[in-house]
């Protein structure tokens, strides 16, 4: 009998006490019979009647559920929903429902038809400017509803209150909502209306005392510009962007930078040269020296920026942007003079610098195009080499992802990056190696060895899958001497079954596309010796796996000639697992036999079935053989027996369940 220590008993007692405390709120949350009765609704009511009843007499949670379900009611019965349910929805109910953080009323309003959303539309206009708790939810509702409402309704119901809500005397929430609404409605009206009614509000909000408002309005300037058109953008929007790009707040400057990039096609060459370039140059220099937080966004947009401005650059401007990109690509690794930087950065700052370099790697193909592929060796090769050797895995992985694009851009000069390809293929990170599609033989062999030593067998499996395409690009001799023995080693020694099977498939692919008869014979001989006749039953099981693959890849005649006999001989295998797998394969093996040319193979297959039925002692093997026979393994035998082909060979005794002469 076990004896428990007193401390253990005390611990158990306290554990039980904890359970009682856990149970108490559960008991309190249970509904009383009276509450349940109040929440019960007549089951005979249809959906519309139930909704009307709940909105009129139900509890708050029931009314909220009806509001959430409005889109479904509209789809099922729009006429009755609009006539009976929607008028019952009151402002108070909507406010109560949106006060619950688990209920998102905006999805319901968005789902309503344009002609009926107006019944709750005025509520949206009111609420998005008022209650802080629900304003964001209703703002999204309003923005979605604008797409479905006519212009006149928008002008009367939105623009009128918008003039007052955008004033400095209003709350921060109201002014932020005004910015987003202005950006949304700008594309709904013609250019003169936008210029007359909206631009004054836009200018006011761009000069707001709160940086959040200036930043928000700045990000809506793209919609404003597209609303007023090319002719007025230069005079009305560009000055605001210039001022915001020089704002004291970094988030405002970043918003201006992003908006400028998105509107580059709307500025003419003269504006790009005289206004945009100096502005962007100043922005880049300021960020590089004192604003690491903005550098991540700058580096991500850099390729798009250079591509959009390249046609307007002078040679000097072109060179400046290229040099600045080179600085970004080694940020946190080197000084501007090229010497190693031994300074230790805080972890947060180091992470930001790594993100900047990763963005540079992402934009590298665009920068190759910007610098001209013919100048790659002199202008960008050192930068590319640095990115390939970057200490951060994410940077090297990003380079590997875009490697094929660089190859296409370089064309005949692709040999410039041969060394970097080898470096990436031999990378310590499996993710980096896996992303390289173009492959070199020595690097592939090294990569596979490292994958085999790792614990990530799925990566090893995928790498072997890629090996199957090698016959298309690598000579038969290279495959025979570099990879073949390695595939045999994986099949016979690896401990992961999916990896072994993938190696067996790759081995069959090598055999199929090898055109040298002598090598093919040696491969087949080695398969039979090391697998079919292997000392380990595990290797013999892998031979049967290889046979399944070979039946898919080779012709029936080739399979029967080189693989079938050895597979059937495994009926004598001392290990039941091998015989069991062979029994499962009998129907497929039979399907490869062509009659009457392969009559002797059919006889041997039937002999295997007879031997298994007569002598097999393992109950699982016997059961499998009988199931296979019932599915039709002996159908061919009976057919050829009737035709006389096998009449003198054997007769099947169904009562005894075995063959007799």
pLDDT of residue 27: 43
Query: Band of the pLDDT at 386, cuts 50, 70, 90?
Result: very high
Rg (CA), the chain: 38
What is the C-alpha to C-alpha distance for residues 514 and 632, in angstroms, rounded to an integer? 36
If you average pLDDT over residues 158-169, what whole number do you get?
A: 76
Q: Is the pLDDT of residue 94 over 80?
A: no
pLDDT-above-90 percentage for the chain? 23
Percent of the chain with pLDDT over 70: 76
Q: In the predicted model, is pLDDT for residue 82 greater than 80?
A: no
CB of 403 within 8 A of CB of 436? yes
Mean pLDDT on 273-297? 82
Are 182 and 201 spatial neighbours (Cβ–Cβ below 8 Å)?
yes
- pLDDT of 523 over the 90 cut: yes
pLDDT at residue 300, as a whole number: 92
648 pLDDT higher than 80 = no
Q: What average pLDDT does range 47-70 have in this prediction?
A: 79
Position 315 pLDDT exceeds 60: yes
Mean pLDDT of 539-546: 92
Using an 8 Å Cβ cutoff, are 239 and 218 in contact? no
In the 8-state DSSP scheme, what is residue 169?
Answer: T
Alpha carbon distance 392, 360 (integer Å): 13
Is the pLDDT assigned to residue 30 strictly greater than 60? no
Do residues 535 and 542 make contact, with C-beta atoms less than 8 angstroms apart?
no
Q: What kind and span of H or E run contains 34?
A: helix 33-39
Mean pLDDT of 643-657: 39
- pLDDT-wise least confident of 108-112, 421-425, 484-488: 108-112
The average pLDDT across 489-514 equals 92
Determine if the peptide bond prior to 596 is cis (ω within 30°): yes
pLDDT (0 to 100) of residue 250: 84
pLDDT, residue 583, reads 86
Position 135 scores a pLDDT of 53
Max avg pLDDT among 123-127, 314-318, 324-328, 634-638: 324-328
pLDDT at 288: 80
Q: How far apart are the C-alpha atoms of 139 and 136, rounded to whole Å? A: 5
Smallest Cα–Cα separation from 129: which of 102, 90, 101, 169? 169
| pLDDT tens, residue by residue, 444-491 | 788 888 888 888 899 999 989 888 888 876 778 888 888 899 999 999
Q: What is the DSSP string of 255-291?
A: HHHHHHHHTGGGS-HHHIIIIIHHHHHHHHHHHHHH-
Dmax of the chain from CA atoms? 108
What is the end-to-end Cα distance of the chain in Å, rounded? 67
Range in 216-230, 269-283, 325-339, 613-627 with the lowest mean pLDDT: 325-339
The reported pLDDT for the residue numbered 504 is 94
Buried b (16+ CB within 10 A) or exposed e, 490-517: bbbebeeeebbbbbbbbbbbbbeebeee
Of 65 and 376, the one with more pLDDT: 376
Count of positions (residues) in the chain: 661
pLDDT at 34: 67
State residue 74's pLDDT score. Answer: 67
Q: Where does residue 208 fall: left (phi above 0), alpha (psi -120 to 50 degrees), or beta otherwise?
A: beta
pTM here is: 0.54
The residues, ordered by sequence, that sit 6+ positions from 201 with a Cβ below 8 Å of its Cβ are 162, 163, 166, 178, 182
Lowest mean pLDDT among 227-241, 515-529, 614-628: 614-628
Q: In whole numbers, what is the pLDDT of the chain averaged over residues?
A: 78
Q: Output the CA–CA distances (angstroms, integers) from residue 150 to 70, 189, 228, in the order listed.
A: 22, 10, 19
CA-to-CA separations, 39 to 52, 56, 102, 193, 271, in angstroms, rounded = 14, 13, 20, 52, 67
Distances (CA, A) of 565 to 517, 562, 650: 21, 8, 20
Q: If you search the block for the tokens 């968005």, which residue do you land on?
A: 110
The tokens 């073949």 sit on which residue? 484
How many CA atoms lie less than 13 Å away from 379 in the CB half-sphere?
A: 19
How does pLDDT run across 581-600, given as a tens digit for each residue?
888 888 888 888 888 877 88
pLDDT recorded at residue 296: 87
Under a CB-based contact definition with an 8 Å cutoff, are residues 443 and 466 in contact?
A: no
pLDDT, position 652: 39
Strand partners, 652: 659
* Separation CA 124–CA 118 (nearest Å): 9
């Amino acid at each position: 009998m076990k004896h428990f220590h007193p401390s253990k008993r005390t611990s158990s007692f306290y554990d039980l006490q904890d359970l009682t405390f856990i149970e108490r709120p559960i008991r309190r949350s249970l509904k009383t019979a009276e509450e349940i009765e109040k929440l019960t609704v007549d089951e005979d009511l249809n959906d519309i009647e139930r909704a009307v009843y709940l909105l009129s007499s139900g509890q708050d949670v029931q009314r909220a559920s009806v509001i959430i379900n409005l889109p479904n009611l509209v789809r099922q019965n729009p006429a009755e929903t609009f006539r009976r349910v929607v008028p019952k929805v009151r402002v108070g109910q909507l406010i109560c429902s949106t006060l619950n953080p688990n209920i998102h009323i905006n999805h319901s309003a968005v789902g309503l038809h344009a002609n009926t959303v107006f019944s709750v539309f005025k509520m949206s206009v009111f609420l998005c400017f008022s209650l802080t708790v629900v304003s964001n939810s209703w703002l999204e509702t309003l923005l979605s509803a604008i797409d479905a409402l006519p212009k006149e309704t928008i002008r009367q119901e939105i623009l009128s209150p918008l003039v007052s809500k955008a004033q400095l005397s209003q709350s921060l929430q109201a002014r932020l909502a005004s910015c987003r609404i202005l950006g949304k409605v700008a594309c709904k009206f013609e250019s003169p209306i936008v210029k007359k009614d909206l631009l004054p509000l836009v200018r006011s909000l761009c000069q707001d005392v709160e940086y959040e408002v200036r930043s928000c309005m700045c990000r809506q300037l793209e919609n404003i510009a597209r609303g007023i058109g090319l002719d007025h953008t230069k005079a009305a929007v560009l000055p605001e962007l210039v001022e915001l790009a020089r704002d004291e707040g970094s988030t405002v400057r970043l918003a201006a930078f992003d908006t400028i990039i998105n509107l580059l096609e709307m500025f003419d060459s003269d504006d790009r040269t005289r206004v945009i370039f100096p502005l962007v140059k100043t922005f880049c220099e300021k960020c590089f020296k004192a604003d690491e937080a903005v550098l991540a966004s700058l580096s991500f947009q850099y390729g798009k920026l250079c591509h959009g401005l390249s046609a307007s650059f002078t040679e000097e401007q072109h060179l400046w942007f290229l040099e600045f990109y080179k600085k970004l690509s080694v940020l946190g690794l080197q000084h501007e003079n090229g010497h190693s930087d031994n300074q230790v950065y805080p972890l947060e700052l180091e992470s930001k610098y790594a993100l900047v370099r990763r963005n540079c790697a992402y934009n590298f193909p665009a920068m190759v195009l910007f610098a001209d592929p013919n100048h790659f060796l002199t202008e960008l090769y050192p930068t590319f080499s640095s990115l390939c050797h970057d200490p951060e895995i994410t940077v090297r992985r990003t380079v590997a992802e875009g490697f094929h694009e660089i190859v296409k851009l370089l064309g005949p000069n692709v040999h410039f990056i041969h060394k970097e390809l080898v470096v990436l293929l031999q990378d310590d990170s499996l993710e980096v190696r896996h992303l390289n599609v173009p492959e070199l033989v020595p690097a592939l062999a090294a990569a596979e060895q490292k994958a085999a030593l790792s614990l990530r067998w799925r990566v090893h499996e995928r790498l072997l899958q890629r090996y199957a395409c090698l016959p298309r690009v690598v000579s038969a001799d290279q495959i025979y001497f570099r990879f073949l023995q390695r595939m045999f080693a994986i099949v016979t020694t690896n401990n992961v079954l999916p990896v072994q099977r993938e190696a067996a498939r790759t081995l069959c692919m090598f055999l199929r596309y090898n055109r040298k008869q002598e090598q093919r014979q040696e491969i087949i001989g080695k398969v039979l010796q090391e697998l079919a006749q292997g000392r380990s039953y595990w290797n013999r099981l892998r031979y049967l796996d290889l046979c399944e693959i070979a039946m898919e890849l080779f012709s029936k005649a080739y399979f029967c000639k080189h693989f079938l006999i050895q597979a059937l001989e495994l009926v004598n295998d001392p290990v039941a697992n091998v015989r069991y797998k062979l029994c499962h394969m009998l129907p497929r093996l039979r399907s490869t036999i062509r009659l009457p040319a392969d009559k002797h193979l059919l006889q041997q297959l039937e002999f295997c079935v007879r031997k298994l039925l007569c002598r097999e002692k393992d109950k699982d093997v016997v059961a499998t053989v009988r199931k296979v026979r019932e599915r039709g393994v002996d159908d061919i035998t009976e057919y050829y027996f009737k035709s006389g082909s096998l009449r003198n060979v054997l007769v099947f005794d169904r009562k005894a369940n075995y063959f007799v002469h």
